[in-house]
Chains A and B, each alone.
Chain A
Amino acid sequence: MLVGETVAVAFQSIRANKLRSMLTMLGIIIGVGAVITMVALGSGAQKAVEDQIANLGANTFTIFPGQSFRGGVAQGNRVSLTTDDYLAIRRDARLIKAVVPELQSNLQVKYGNQNVNSPIVGTTANFVEVRNYTVPFGRSFRQGDDESRQRYAVLGADVPDQLGVNAAAMIGQQLLVRGIPFEIIGVLSRKGSAGSWQNPDEQIFIPLQTAQFRVLGTDRVRSISVQVADGVPIEQGMVDLERVLRREHRIRPGQENDFQIRNPQDILATRQEATQTFTILLASIAAVSLFVGGIGIMNIMLVSVTERTREIGIRKALGATRLNIMAQFLIEALALCLVGGVLGILFGSGMAIVLAKFMQWNTLISMPAIIVAFAFSAFVGLFFGIWPARRAASLDPIVALRYE
């Protein structure tokens, strides 16, 4: 029934008032675009967290040095984990498959005539598998290299970029750490920083004992990562480890731990929840702007009905029914919203791509968000178009024909 004619008239009217139509659509464009960009940002952040969880390796948790508190006051001065704790865990913990201690210090590193300040990490040979690294260039050091305190260095994926050298070309080259020569034997796969304050790909790994005895001269470790034995729940592993460390640190029953055990999956799960809340919040704000855009559409449709009162009178005199008139204005509002919706989808997707490309933000354009935003803009068109359309349809043709 007249659909072709009605759609043609709607687009004719939109084209006749180009600037006004564009400004009216702007509300919808911004609203839909904002929904899509915001959801893309949220989904991207969420995917980054998920990737990070996958990267962690299964069943690992980490112990950090801490302080014991009593009544809010730090007790004693024994606040560190040492390589002795590492040995004790390896010796006594029964439910543990692998232990990876990390000594760390930021040190001056010299390569050729370039200087950088890099985190130097002394660790055991098994860090590669526990931390889910691969070694695309060269190799990592072995347990024997650790025991014989070899001066071998394995670089994080970003170090060659930092130095402006091709990764493959660095294998076998010499690197000075605090003036001590090291041989570069491998470059690790990329982890990605995923929003943490420190980029793990900028670290340089050296054998634990080399670090402890030849470079840093300390047995205090920054952290000890632990991988639970296969088939053992991570919580049980944590209890086992707590028992070993409390005995090692001679903590009496009732006294608090002087170390912290952190399950990174829990931290990430919390962060994921926060990200989700953030996404919902952003999307709601965007939805409000879509709603405001809808009010803009209603406003301009009311103006349009008033302006075209005489046209409505003519059409009614020539035989248009209430339904015809109503359909005409409803389709016009719908057309405004849908054209705005399409432009908004392009604008929002474009924004997400630009943010990803130039600001390195994680974005993920989500198809459901596009569909929902488009459907919502159609709904906005119908919802806010219906009142002006009814007003047009109920005009008295005699009054409308006389309208100046």
Chain B
Amino acid sequence: MTASLTDTAERMALLPADVPRDAIIVTRNLQREYDMGGEVVRALRGVDIVIRKNEFVAIMGPSGSGKSTLMNMIGCLDSPDGGEYWLNGHRVSELEDDELARIRNKEIGFVFQTFNLLPRATALHNVELPLVYAGIGSKERSRMAIDALQRVGLGDRMHHRPNELSGGQRQRVAIARALVNNPSILLADEPTGNLDSATSVDIMALFETLHATGQTIVLVTHEHDIAAHADRQVHLKDGQVERDFKTEATH
């Protein structure tokens, strides 16, 4: 089982021969069907994507294109019906529930449109949460969480609850939470969807800073100007990759 291989280099060696050795995300003919009241909807019809270390990729597409399904799949929240998926060398498509939970904890940092912070917990505690499930001791936990909050510029808001923070600050807490475990990818689903345009610019600037320090980022959005912050854009249509191109090429 690939998940049991702790050495990253060892795992990477097991990737298909034709993909680069620094590929973080590799999907092969990824398929997913839903049964919508008797009618079968084919949300993904064979998606092939390779995302390499330190890429900043935007996944785009209209609603119904399969972009949310792909995001759930990349985020290890859902398992494919067909095809294969490797994340940082783990062959995720074959893992059980609890192993997926461990992968989510170690390899993925989620940023959601609706922030999804625990309302009763302070910013610090929210950021600590992934470390709690990683089994890290409380002293180390708060040190790492404080560090992550300082990285997103919220060092002075650590003990506030979400309802005492602005939308932009809440999303920064969520980003700090996503970063705290040093994940191999930051997976952001419409991160600016609930923010005004000025705040959106700030958040996208933060993503670019993180990217500049070596963070791999996957951004799911339907807004072109947000996607333009990414180096590369993958457009989905009807459950398949329609276009995959470098952002500079279109400018």
Question: Residues on A close to B: CB < 8 A?
Answer: 1-2, 4-5, 12-13, 16, 310-311, 313-324, 397-398, 401
Contact = CB atoms under 8 A, between A and B. Distances in A.
B225 interface: no
A1 B129 CA distance: 14
Interface in B78-134: 78, 97-98, 101-102, 104-106, 110, 112, 116-118, 120, 129-130, 132-134
List the 10 closest pairs (A to B, CB-CB), nearest first: A319-B105, A319-B133, A321-B101, A321-B98, A318-B130, A314-B116, A5-B132, A397-B77, A319-B104, A398-B77
B112 A401 contact: yes
B72 interface: yes
B112 A321 contact: no
B135 interface: yes
Contacts of A316: 101, 104
> Which of B112, B133, B177 counts the most A-chain CB atoms under 10 A from its CB?
B133
Given A1-B135, A2-B132, A320-B133, A401 B101 contact: no
B75 interface: yes
Contact of A322 (B97, B134, B135): B97
A166 B104 CA distance: 84
A5 B112 CA distance: 24
A27 B132 CA distance: 34
Interface of B: 72, 75, 77-78, 97-98, 101-102, 104-106, 110, 112, 116-118, 120, 129-130, 132-135, 138, 177
Given A1-B135, A16-B120, A317 B129 contact: no
A16 B75 CA distance: 32
A310 B101 contact: no
16 contacts: A2-B133, A12-B120, A16-B120, A316-B101, A316-B104, A317-B116, A318-B133, A319-B130, A319-B134, A320-B133, A321-B97, A321-B102, A321-B133, A322-B98, A397-B77, A398-B78
B116 A401 contact: yes
Given A318-B105, A398-B78, A324 B120 contact: no
Given A13-B120, A314-B129, A321-B98, 4 more contacts: A319-B106, A321-B101, A321-B102, A322-B98
Nearest to B177: A318
Given A317-B75, A322-B97, A398-B78, A310 B116 contact: yes
Nearest to A308: B118
Contacts of B129: 314-315, 318
A2 B135 contact: yes
Contacts of B120: 12-13, 16
Contacts of B117: 314
B77 A324 contact: no
A317 B97 contact: no
Contacts of A4: 138
B88 to A, nearest CB: 15
B99 to A, nearest CB: 9
B37 to A, nearest CB: 16
